[in-house]
Structures are given as structure tokens and as C-alpha cells.
Amino acid sequence: MALGLSSCATDDSVEPFHKSSTDSTIVSFTFLINDGVRTRAINTANENTVSDITVLVFDNTNSLIGSKYVASVAAGSVDVTTRSATGCTIYAIANTGSSSYFAGVNTIDKLNKMSTTIASAADLENSGSTANSTGAMMIGKASADIIKGAVNKFPVTLYHQCGKFSFTIKPNSGVTITGYQLCNVPLSSYITDSHVPASASTVAGPPVGASSYGNFTAVSGLSQTTDLSKTYYVYENLCGSNINATSEALRNSSNVPVSASASASYLLINAKSSNWTSTYRVYLGGMTNVATPAVDLTNFNVYRNLNYNCTITLGANGGNGDARVTYQATTTRSNMYVGDATVGNYLYDNGTNGSVYSASHTVGIIYSSELTQAQYNAGCRHGRVLALKNANSSNYGTWGSGSPYNDHSSTGHPYVSDFKTCFQDVSSGYDALSANSSYVNITSNYAWYYCKTYSDGTTHSGDLAGKNWYLPSAGDWWDIMENLGTWSASDKTTLTTNRSSTTGLGYIISTSSGSYFDALNTKLSVAGGDQIVPSGSYPYNFWSASEAGSGAAARFYFSSDGVYLNYNNKTSRYYCRSVLAF
């Protein structure tokens, strides 16, 4: 977007200079613009439209010597009255939508400190760069000597304040794209680029600070088997570089540059085939910030005014072995998303996880990296975690009274009747938090109430903020048993086979050793938690959220002889243990 600048002598002047000044000149801008549809929303059809323009002229002391706002711009000239001066800096800023937007700006320093902020990632596209704006904010800068009596013509080019990220996902035969989401994009940006560091390794966070990040709304439930394309508009993200990211495969979470004020933006892609599900994490950036950008894989910065075009091919193997991809062989469950949590790790109160217990910060033990559709829609991206302790100090109680689901057609969770239906149900407990909140808030519905109100004694932040504990479904308990237990090869075969068994309930696995939860119990003991199968104690029965009838619910029985799954009357008294999705 090019602007031509010219001037002529005049006796007129504009504020902030005294009207009696005789050393003034009119600076005229000629615009070559895309005069398309004018709207606050930004899209590929109108991203280059200039609807209004503000011109600011500063002298060689960086003080304002002339300005002009024009509410409706068309091809032609815009006159700006200023005085003659050498070493001037001229800014032209498009689409603020307000004549008073730069009120009080009388130096370049004040202009450079100005920023824009949006409430959510999609606001830039839906509502424009700032309140009352007319589209994508664009900024031009030029240096010039303004000489009275001369014909001054200065080229000024407008650049977008935001960047543009366009991607095309190309699934191989047999691969289905099930969803995607652009994550961790800044929600604030400086107007000018004077703060952009010369070195890509230098971090310059968004003006509002480290909390000024957001995610676009997740797109889910797709069954796309052909190419999928999408364009996003985003603020610059100057998160730095990492010299170890020397290949596409090395642009992964281990090599992301992270500081207290910034972190990298990435695109999540969920895909599946008949025998695997994968979550691809593609980090943005990878280009230099020069007139002719070049590939620089070590660079994780997302710069303004760059159009990033990314083609992502999803291979038939689901990215198995690629560190950028979370891969999992398909279970017999459908419509599940695979997160990036490590099963067996401790979960900490800031949403991170690790193998070492952290006093006063450990929330629980991760037992699955799978997430339901509802959990994914609620912002869960990592997995599910088992609480360290039982849900109440008295340890056990009744399930509740009546049925929370079969009187509510909006939920529609079926009764469980065999191993297959128990394994498949990973939704009953979590869905009750919103679908039937009145039921889980009643104290007489012991298992539900105390699992929901369980406190792990920490303050949740990061990806854990706002996530709630709930009564685990039968499928949750199955994953706890299978994923956190220690099993022989033949035991694993038995567990896998029983996932799809329709012959009824009983012993899922029988064992004479009684040591299948030793590793889990050790982790729980280190963290000061309650063991699942205490040595020498009476076997533990735990309630699940899965109903076996209007008056019965499924429960898991852990003993030295193995794991027994059956159902009992809802007035029976069993142990309760909370789980959480994050």
C-alpha cells in the first residue's frame, strides 16, 4: 500500500502551532488503495482497505509539528499543514476509526508506547484492530526534509499491524481431520514496530504482559478427508528463538523458547485413521523479519505484516515417532481426543506435570491422555488425573438417591450392563457437572457431592484454572486400573480383550500376586495420599458415576485377588475418589 507525499507553501497552520506562524507548508498525501467493502471485520477481501487515515509529522527532536485525520479516504490528496523542518519522521496510520485516537500524542515516544488490546483472539478478525476501527490497522513511516516552497514528494508504505497465518491441511488417504485450534496468540500489540528487537533471540512480550494471550475457539467434530484451508489474523508474537530447532521435527515443545513474558503460538490439529488418533502441534513462525523473508527454523517469532503460508501433510502413520505429534493407537472408544499429558506423572497446580512429587503443589496422578468431546470443548487439552486422597475424611458413603440421567433426556447416558459398556462410559461423571448440577450439589448424594467439592489443597492456575473435580465413570476407573497398574503381557491381553466383552460383569482381571498397584501406591504414599489397595487391609470398593439401573450403580473392587467390576444398590456405602480433566 503506497502513499505519495507532496507539499506547497501556505500561510495557514494547524494546532499545536500558533496560527500566526509564517513558516508553514501543506503536505499532501496521494493514496493508492484497495477501496473494497468497508467493515470492521478483517477478511481476505478487505484486509487492504483504507477507510480513514491519521497523519502525524514529527521534527528532528521527535516533537509533533503537524497532524491530520481524514474520516473517509479515496484516491487523491490529503493535505496536512506543518512547518518546514529537516530530519522529519512521518507516520501514517490507517483505520483507527476516530479523530481523537491520538489525542495527547505530541512526541514519537508517546506514539511508540501506544498499544491496542482485544478481549479474545477472534476479536481482531470479528471487530477490527480496536474499538470503532474500520478494519485492519496499518502503519506507514517515512523520513523526510520538509522545505518551504519546494515540491516535496515522499514515498510512504503502509504495513499491517497484524500478521496473517494461512494453512492448508492435506490428509493422506485413510486419514480424517477431526478438529483444529490456533492457540496462544497475543491479545495486545504495540501500534508501531519501534520495540521489535533486532535479534530474533530477544524476547519482547506483548504490552499488556504475560497474561495477554488467548486461544481461538476450537473447531471440533469434523470428518474432513479432503484438503482443509483456513486463514487467521493475529498480533505479532515476539517470543524468541532456539538454536536447537534446526529442522521441522525439532520445532517441538522441547525446543520452544519460553520466558516469563512470552511463549510460542501453535496450531493444534486432531486427526485419526482406523487404528490411531493423533494431535499435531505445529508452531508458528520460522521466517526472518527482513524485506525479503527467508526460512529460519530456529525463529519462533510471529511478525507483523507477514503472510505465513503453511502446508501440513498428515501421513498415513499419524505422525508416530514425530516429537511434534501425540500419537496413540485407537482404543475401542470413539470420538476421543488425545492430549499431551504423560500417564503416571504427577500433575502440579499450574497445569504442568512431572515425575517428581512437589510438596504443596501436587494435585494428583495422571492416568489418561484421552479426553471426551465435552472435555475438549471445555478447553481440556492434556488428559485426566486421579486425586491423591479419597473424597471425604469419612472415606465412604452412599452413591445417592434416584437417577441423575434417565429423567433428563438431554444427556442420554445408557445403563451399563457388561465390561464393554462400562469401558465405553467415560462421560457420565464429567457431564453431570453441567447437565445435572442440582443433583451433584445435594449433600445426600454423597459420592457426587463429595467428589465435586473435594479440595486438593492447592491453588489451580494455568491450564488447571477453572477445572473441577468429579465422580469418575466406570471408564475412568478402567483407565486408572489399566494405565496405572503393572501388568504382565498376558494380563494386558486379558484387559484388552475384556474391553469389548458383552458377556456381563465380574472379575476383569484375576491375579495371585496382589502387586499390580504397588507402583501407584508408592506414588500416592510419597505424596501423602490414600492408597487404592492398602497392604493387609480389607479390599476397597469405589463408586463410579455409571448407572446400572434406576437404583443401582457400577463399582470397582480392588483386592489382592484382582479387580472385580459389578453393580450395587445406590444406598450401599463405598469409597469415593475424585478425578479431573485438564
In whole angstroms, how far apart are CA 498 and each of 421, 478, 505, 550?
A: 11, 11, 10, 25
- Return the domain boundaries, the chain: 2-160, 163-330, 346-581
What integer is the mean pLDDT of 297-324? 88
CA-based nearest residue to 346, from 333, 334, 361, 357: 357
What integer is the mean pLDDT of 24-42? 45
The alpha-helical segments, DSSP class H, found in 92-175 are 108-113, 123-127
In whole angstroms, how far apart are CA 557 and each of 9, 328, 534, 543?
A: 93, 28, 13, 9
In whole angstroms, how far apart are CA 97 and each of 15, 136, 376, 571?
A: 21, 11, 38, 65
What integer is the mean pLDDT of 527-534? 85
Predicted local confidence at residue 34, as pLDDT: 37
Predicted local confidence at residue 471, as pLDDT: 95
Reported as a single tens digit per residue, the pLDDT across 38-92 is 344 567 767 878 888 999 999 999 999 999 998 887 655 677 888 889 999 999 9
Mean pLDDT of the chain: 84
Predicted local confidence at residue 331, as pLDDT: 54
Most confident of 102-111, 141-150, 333-342: 102-111
Higher-pLDDT residue of 152 and 5 is 152
Predicted local confidence at residue 7, as pLDDT: 33
Q: In what order do the strands lie in the sheet with 266-272?
A: 176-183, 266-272, 276-283, 325-329
CATH of domain 2-160: 2.60.40
Higher-pLDDT residue of 44 and 161 is 161
Beta-bridge mates of residue 10: 24
**Could you tell me the pLDDT band of residue 262, with boundaries at 50, 70 and 90?**
low
State phi, psi for 492 to the nearest 5 degrees. -60, -40
Q: Are strands 307-314 and 163-171 parallel, antiparallel or unpaired?
A: parallel
Q: How far apart are CA 550 and CA 552, in angstroms?
A: 6
- The model carries a pTM of 0.58
> Cell numbers of 498, please?
475384556
**Cβ burial 220-253 (10 Å sphere, 16+ → b, else e):** eeeebeeebeebbbbbbbbbbbbeebeeeeebbe
Predicted local confidence at residue 151, as pLDDT: 74
Q: Tell me the CA end-to-end span of the chain in Å, nearest whole number.
A: 45
**Could you tell me the pLDDT band of residue 33, with boundaries at 50, 70 and 90?**
very low
Which regions of 52-206 does DSSP assign to beta strands (E)?
53-58, 64-70, 77-83, 85-94, 115-117, 138-146, 154-160, 163-171, 176-183, 185-186, 188-190
Predicted local confidence at residue 197, as pLDDT: 92
The correct answer on CATH 2.60.40 for the domain covering 163-330 is yes
471 touches 425 (CB < 8 A): no
* Confidence check: pLDDT of 133 > 90: no
* Confidence check: pLDDT of 141 > 70: yes
Q: How far apart are CA 247 and CA 22, in angstroms?
A: 62
Q: How far apart are CA 483 and CA 370, in angstroms?
A: 12
* Confidence check: pLDDT of 31 > 50: no
* Confidence check: pLDDT of 13 > 60: no
The identity of residue 34, as a single letter, is N
Q: Cα dihedral sign for 511, 516, 517, 522?
A: positive
Predicted local confidence at residue 2, as pLDDT: 41
Beta-bridge mates of residue 510: 562
Predicted local confidence at residue 14, as pLDDT: 25
Q: How far apart are CA 465 and CA 256, in angstroms?
A: 23
Q: Note whether 2-160 and 163-330 share their fold.
A: yes
Distant-in-sequence, close-in-space partners of 417: CB < 8 Å, separation ≥ 6: 504, 505, 548
Reported as a single tens digit per residue, the pLDDT across 567-581 is 999 999 999 999 999
Distant-in-sequence, close-in-space partners of 34: CB < 8 Å, separation ≥ 6: 1, 46, 48, 49, 50
Q: Tell me the DSSP string of 248-279.
A: GGG-SGGG----SS----EEEEEEE-SSEEEE
**Could you tell me the pLDDT band of residue 515, with boundaries at 50, 70 and 90?**
confident
332 touches 500 (CB < 8 A): yes
Predicted local confidence at residue 365, as pLDDT: 97
DSSP single-letter state for residue 123: H
